[in-house]
Amino acid sequence: MPPSEMSRGSIRPRPFARCRRRAAAATAALLLAAAFWPAGGAQAAANDAEARTIFEKFIAAQNAHDADDVKVMLWNSPGTLLFARGIETRGRDAVATRFKAYYEGTWHLEPDMSKFHVAVISNEVMQILVPIVFTRGLSGKPSQQNTFLISQTYVQDATGWHVASILPVANTELK
């Protein structure tokens, strides 16, 4: 039948051609996903491991009462924040000085790493959440233990990852 004589009713779709196009599109999508999926999973695992390493190093410096090591790990920015005991402390030097004052008394941290969580916000920002038992007390006073949920934000700059904020929360229940 010449094209001029074809009517709408006489034109039949070619089902196999449509199926082949759909199959090709689906295959391309699966190949694309397969190419990038493992990298995403590997990247998430790398971020988790990196965040754990940063955090564990920070806890070790805290427990060693090493204000200089703590200061090096803090983000060199006026925006660096420690909000603890109802007091906002801003800036790397001020936060390090505050920790140094804590170290004059009893100060020991024990995180529950089984409940350690990482949220990757961007390539340069991560946030962690973990319960920590604080053993603390003023110099010459009896110490006490309290559990806090700690949120820390890490920022990556040209020199590496740094602690940008530290926020202890009294409610330690992760749900």
Question: What is the average per-residue pLDDT within 83-91?
Answer: 94
Bigger pLDDT: 121 vs 47: 121
> Is residue 28 over pLDDT 90?
no
CA end-to-end distance (rounded Å), the chain: 70
- pLDDT, residue 32, reads 40
pLDDT in tens, 144-170: 999 999 999 999 999 999 999 999 988
> Is residue 39 over pLDDT 80?
no
- pLDDT, residue 35, reads 43
Bigger pLDDT: 19 vs 101: 101
The CA distance from 57 to 163, in Å, is 11
pLDDT confidence of 139, banded at 50, 70, 90?
confident
Domains and CATH numbers, the chain: 47-169 (3.10.450.50)
CA–chain centroid gap for 105, Å, is 31
- pLDDT, residue 150, reads 94
Question: What is the average per-residue pLDDT within 12-36?
Answer: 48
